A = this chain, B = another copy of it.
Amino acid sequence: MKLIRINMAEKRVTTENAPDNYAIMGGRALTTEVIAREVDPTCHPLGHNNKLVIAPGLLSGTSAPSSGRLSIGFKSPLTGGIKESNAGGTAAQKLAKLGIKAIIIEQIPKEEGFSILRVTKDGVELVDGSTLRGKANYEICATLQKKYGEKVCVMSIGPAGEYKLSGATVAVSDSEGRPVRHCGRGGGGAVLGSKGIKAIVIDDTDAPKVAIHDQEKFKEAARDFGKILTSHPVSGQGLPLYGTAVLINILNEAGGLPTKNFRYGRFDFADKISGEMVHDVINERKGKVTHACHPGCVIRCSQVYHDKEGKYLTAGFEYETIWAFGANCMIDDIDAIARLDYLCDDIGIDTIEMGVTMGVAMEGGVIPFGDADGAIKLLEQVRQGTELGRIIGNGAGFTGKAFGVTRVPTVKNQGIPAYDPRSVKGIGVTYATTPMGADHTAGYSVTANILKVGSHIDPLKKEGQVELSRNLQIATAAVDSTGLCLFTAFALLDEPRALQRVVDMLNAQYNLQLTIDDVTALGKAVLKTERSFNFKAGLNEAEDRLPEFFQEELDPHGTVFDVSDAELDQLFNF
């Protein structure tokens, strides 16, 4: 397996064999390791000393079900700490098939301008990208697929990445070539923009298959793992049928759907933006209720959403996006929310960060709560790079400072997602402590708190939440290294033989003798490396805190976030 280094100051591509100690690292484990080894934690995130690492997971490109996740790693311009940002789409599988363990993008160009990175079986080359300057993701995808073939994967940045805004994403095209999967969080698009790379075209034509040491054992484990996934009620039924938006009604019922910039736990119009509603609208307009973001996904939680005229509007329309622009901004028009999702994908900016930011902008009186048209116009300002657009595009913390707002739901300057930490306390612990900044995926305690997956821990009480979050954060760091989708976790938590099947696949593919303990150890090592980087970057325990307004009681349960600082500081005792 190869490491490809792109030096953007010299416009030079070099290929090296991955060192032996990277053998059992993929995805997040690998991006974290490279960043921690090679990047000065105190560097400017948009300067020549930062790097951006792109790595498929260990199982990516194989027949392992739902294993097509991609990791990108970098020092984040949003949080100031290390970041792994994770997406579906087809990049990971194609990179793995091309024998690429990681692409490491270094330095910044000596002159302004944008390049395209073209990756094929013959190698990697930098191509002039000046004609794409200022273009948004849908147009970039169409242009590059026309030029390089319909089946290439396109990773790209929109205007937000060109402006180096902290909310900018790296888009990854899906099986239909649409820029709807994103490494969304933490400003990876700004880092790629700072490197002068507008797009990466990955063409795996005539690439060999991923080498599997023991095909039979691998197939057997993969088949059984697929069976486990499809027979679990969440990954086998809820997600394929309703998408992730199935959570709107569930969280609303639990009093944990943050509403009006985290003022309430329930949204009066939740039924107008629920997964069930989205499902019906999609069916009525002949979209796709269920859809895989990459080939071989058996969960298929994505969907294709059509507008009132029955024309394609957006895809990959997630719970967190619907919450962010919906309940959080008091917008109850699902078509407007779908339009906002489309705009974010096109401009290349994180839907969660933008929804949280809109809530803060509404709090500051920039536009009123509930103003869908106003929110659309604000996103268009981001596209245009106006001063207001640059404020919004730099996220919730930045927007709060610009407009003197103190009710700013962020941790480590990253917007808090779709689960109120006062009524889902396990996720509050994750928000506070994960090295990623407020990130639900880093330790998705909603499982045990709300879905009763794995175990059940009362979401309204603080007891057991630190341990829950710790275990999930460790497991997630390992899962994020395999290329498996986080949604395999429901089955991994509920079905004892599932994790062994993952280990079986890894052993069969790489001719290893890993045990379940080794996987846990990998997760622990990743987390410790990330936390150590953050300390050296200037983020100490005092950053592992929620904003003070979570001491206000939240309706309907009247709860506050009462996990103490000392308890939070126990999380990394492992």
Asked if A190 lies at the interface with its beta carbon under 8 angstroms from chain B, I say: yes
Residues B536 and A404 in contact, CB atoms below 8 Å apart: no
Interface of A, secondary structure class, is loop
Q: Which residue of B lies closest to A386 (CB)?
A: B387
Asked if A335 lies at the interface with its beta carbon under 8 angstroms from chain B, I say: no
Q: Which residue of B lies closest to A78 (CB)?
A: B401
Partner of A536, one of B190, B193, B542: B542
Q: Which residue of B lies closest to A395 (CB)?
A: B401
Asked if A77 lies at the interface with its beta carbon under 8 angstroms from chain B, I say: yes
Asked if A520 lies at the interface with its beta carbon under 8 angstroms from chain B, I say: no
Query: Please, which residues of chain B bring their CB within 8 A of the CB of A40?
Result: 548
Partner of A538, one of B166, B394, B404, B540: B540
Partner of A387, one of B402, B536, B538: B402
Query: Please, which residues of chain B bring their CB within 8 A of the CB of A43?
Result: 548
- Which A residues from 33 to 61 make CB contacts under 8 A with B? 40-44, 46-47, 49
- Min Cβ gap A70→B in Å is 25
Partner of A47, one of B386, B398, B401, B406: B406
Asked if A510 lies at the interface with its beta carbon under 8 angstroms from chain B, I say: no
Q: Interface size class for chain A?
A: 35 or more
Residues B548 and A404 in contact, CB atoms below 8 Å apart: no
* Cα distance, A46 to B397, chains bound together (Å): 13
**Copies of the chain in the assembly:** 2
Residues A49 and B548 in contact, CB atoms below 8 Å apart: yes
Contact A402 B394, CB 8 Å, known A386-B387, A547-B44, A548-B47: yes
- Which A residues from 150 to 169 make CB contacts under 8 A with B? 163-166
Asked if A451 lies at the interface with its beta carbon under 8 angstroms from chain B, I say: no
Asked if A194 lies at the interface with its beta carbon under 8 angstroms from chain B, I say: yes
Query: Please, which residues of chain B bring their CB within 8 A of the CB of A44?
Result: 406, 408, 547-548
Partner of A535, one of B398, B408, B542: B542
Q: Which residue of B lies closest to A77 (CB)?
A: B401
Query: Please, which residues of chain B bring their CB within 8 A of the CB of A77?
Result: 401
Q: Which residue of B lies closest to A45 (CB)?
A: B406
Asked if A555 lies at the interface with its beta carbon under 8 angstroms from chain B, I say: no
Q: Which residue of B lies closest to A539 (CB)?
A: B538
Q: Which 7 A-B pairs have the closest CB atoms?
A: A164-B404, A538-B542, A387-B387, A387-B388, A540-B540, A47-B406, A390-B402
User: Which residues of chain A have a CB within 8 Å of any CB of chain B?
Assistant: 40-44, 46-47, 49, 77, 163-166, 190, 193-194, 386-388, 390-391, 394, 398, 401-404, 406, 408, 535-540, 542-543, 545, 547-549
Q: A42-B542, A387-B387 are in contact. List 7 more A-B contacts (CB 8 A).
A: A44-B547, A47-B406, A165-B404, A398-B401, A398-B402, A538-B540, A540-B540
Give 21 CB contacts A-B under 8 Å.
A40-B548, A42-B542, A42-B548, A44-B547, A46-B406, A47-B548, A49-B548, A164-B404, A193-B404, A194-B406, A386-B387, A387-B387, A398-B401, A398-B402, A535-B540, A535-B542, A538-B538, A538-B540, A538-B543, A539-B540, A540-B540
